[in-house]
Amino acid sequence: MIFDRLRTNSELWNRYLNRAEYDSDQSGRSEFSSAPPFDINTPAVSDKLLASGFDPNYPNGKDFAICLTHDIDAINYPGLRWPYRILKAFSKGQFRHAGKIALSKFSHEQNPLWNFENIMELEKKYNAISSFYFLALVIGEEDFQFDIQDCKDVLIEIDRAGWEVGLHGGHTAFHDTDQLLREKDRLETALGKSVTGYRNHYLKFSLPHSWQSLKSARFEHDSTIGYPDMIGFRNGMCHPYYPYDDLKKEYLDILEIPLVIMDATLEYYLQLDPKSSWERVKNLIDITKERRGAISILWHNNYLFDPIGWGELYERILEYGQSQNGWLTSSAKINSWYRENNFFQTGDSD
C-alpha cells in the first residue's frame, strides 16, 4: 500500500490514522473544536501521497469526482416539528410552502420531504447520480421517524434508476455490530438486495472499531469521517482511502470516502446562509480538483427544494462541478472505480 510511505512523517501518518481520536469518549461524535490544531483546508496527506506516486484518474477523462450523498433522517416532519415548520413558513410569508407542510401528513405528493424523484430529476440535468442513506430503525429506538418498509417502493425505484441505496446507521450502530446487522437486514429486506454503503447518524464513529464492525457486516465503503462542526479535510485526505487499524496493525478492506461538506454544518455551526456559503464550498471543490481528488458532499432531503435557498446552492454545486469536468456520482460508483483500478497498490512489498 502506498499509505506506508506516510510512515516516514509521523505527523502525516497520525493524521491519516486519525490517531488523536483513538482514545476519544464513547459518544462517538468527534468535533473540530476539540481536535488538535491543524489546517483543515489543506489535504496534506493527499499531497504527500501524490508526491509519492499516487496517480488516480476518473472515467471518461474526468478531472476529479464529486461524491453526492443524501442522509434520509425523516420522510415527514415529526411531532411538534410539523406545526412549528408550518408557523415558521407562515411567519416568513412562504404560504405555499406552509400549505405543502400542512398537507404532508396526508399525501406524499404534497410532502416536501418525500422528494426522492425530484432529487433524481435535478441530478439528471447535470448527468449526475447520488447515494441515498436511509435510517432503518424501529419504534423505541432513538430518532425513529419512519418504518423502512413504508419506503419499499421508493427504495426499489431509486435502485432501479441507478442511484445508490445505503444504510444510515442509528445512534448505537457505530459501536454495536449486532445492532448494525439488524439495521442492515431491515434495509436489505425492504430493498430486496444487499447494500454495501454506509454513513452513521450524527457522524458517530469509534476509531478504529467502527471500521472493523463495518467489515464484519460486509460493507464495502463508508462516508462518515467528517466533522459535524466544520467543513474540510478531517484526516488530511481529499481522496478515498483504505483505513489502517493501528491497534491490530492491519489495513482494512473498507474504502473510506471522507465527508468534506455538509449542509447542516454550513447553516448551524458556521452560521452561514446559502449565498455566503458558496465561496467556501467552491474553494474546497477547487482544492480537490487540483489534486484529482473525490470530494464527498452531504445534502439532506429536507435541505432540498426548501424556500431558504439551500436547494439552489446544491444545484449550483452540480452546475459548477459539471463545468469543471467533474464526475458527479455516487459513493458506490467511487468505491467500484477505486477498487477496480487499484490506485493504492505500488508494487512494493508491504
| 263 falls within a domain | yes
Angle at CA of residue 224, ends 350 and 29, nearest 5°: 110
Residue 347 domain-assigned (yes or no): no
Q: Taking 50 as the threshold, does the pLDDT of residue 194 lie above it?
A: yes
SS (H, E, C) 9-20: CHHHHHHHHCHH
Pair 37, 96 in one domain: no
Phi and psi angles of residue 245, each rounded to the nearest 5 degrees, phi first? -90, 105
Within-domain flag for 346: no
Q: Round to the nearest angstrom and report the end-to-end CA distance of the chain.
A: 7
Pair (43, 11) in one structural domain: yes
Give the side-chain half-sphere CA count within 13 A for 319. Answer: 7
Rounded to whole angstroms, the Cα distance separating 173 from 185 reads 13
User: Domain check: are 88 and 210 in the same one?
Assistant: no
Specify the pLDDT at position 109. Answer: 53
The CATH number assigned to the domain holding 275 equals 3.20.20.370
Q: Please indicate, yes or no, whether residues 94 and 183 belong to a single structural domain of this protein.
A: no
Q: Judging by beta carbons within 10 Å of its beta carbon (0-12, 13-18, 19+), is residue 114 exposed, middle or buried?
A: middle
Pair 89, 101: CB distance under 8 Å: yes
Regarding whether 106 and 117 lie in a shared domain, the answer is no
DSSP one-letter string for 254-308: -EE--EEEEHHIIIIIS---HHHHHHHHHHHHHHHHHTT-EEEEE--GGGSS-SS
Indicate whether 136 and 220 sit together in one domain: yes
Global pTM exceeds 0.75: yes
Residue 241 counted as domain residue: yes
Q: At what angle do helices 177-191 and 152-160 cross, to 10 degrees?
A: 80
Q: What is the mean pLDDT of residues 27-50?
A: 92
90 and 187 part of one domain: no
The CA-based angle 34-16-183, given to 5 degrees, is 75
The count of domains in the chain is 2
Q: Is the dihedral of CA 200, 206, 208, 212 positive or negative?
A: negative
User: What is the tens place of the pLDDT at every residue in 278-298?
Assistant: 999 999 999 999 999 999 999
Does 337 fall in a domain?
Answer: yes
The angle at the Cα of 40, spanning 286 to 7, to the nearest 5 degrees, equals 105
Does position 22 have pLDDT exceeding 60, yes or no? Answer: yes
Residue 40 falls inside a structural domain: yes
Residue where a domain stops, chosen among 112, 130, 162: 112
pLDDT per residue as tens digits for the range 179-192: 999 999 999 999 99
C-alpha cell at 36: 488538535
Are residues 222 and 268 both part of a single domain? yes
Cell 452546475 belongs to 319
Residue 81 scores a pLDDT above 50:
no
238: DSSP letter: S
What does residue 197 show for φ and ψ, rounded to 5 degrees? -105, 150
Reported as a pLDDT band with limits 50, 70 and 90, residue 111 is confident
Residues 120 and 26 in one domain: yes
Q: 243 and 269: one domain? A: yes
Of 65-74, 104-113, 160-169, 319-328, least confident by mean pLDDT is 104-113
Last residue of a domain, one of 95, 112, 129: 112
Q: End of a domain among 61, 87, 112? A: 112
pLDDT at 350 over 70: no
Predicted pLDDT of residue 307: 73
Same domain, 216 and 321: yes
Would you say residue 220 has pLDDT above 70?
yes
For residue 31, the 8-state DSSP code is -
Cell numbers for 29, please give them: 461524535
Asked if the structure places residue 349 within a domain, the reply is: no
Contact between residue 116 and residue 75 where contact means Cβ atoms under 8 Å apart = no
| Range(s) of the domain holding residue 28 | 2-75+113-341
The Cα–Cα gap between 282 and 321 comes to 9
Mean pLDDT for 172-185 is 97
Answer yes or no: do 84 and 107 share one domain.
yes
In a domain, 350, yes or no: no
Nearest to 230 by CA among 280, 288, 279: 280
Question: If pLDDT is split at 50, 70 and 90, which confidence band does 35 have?
Answer: confident
DSSP assignment of 179-230, as one string? HHHHHHHHHHHHHTS---EEEEGGG---TTHHHHHHHHTT--EE---S-TT-
Instruction: Indicate the SS3 state at residue 345.
Output: coil
Tell me the average pLDDT of the chain. Answer: 90
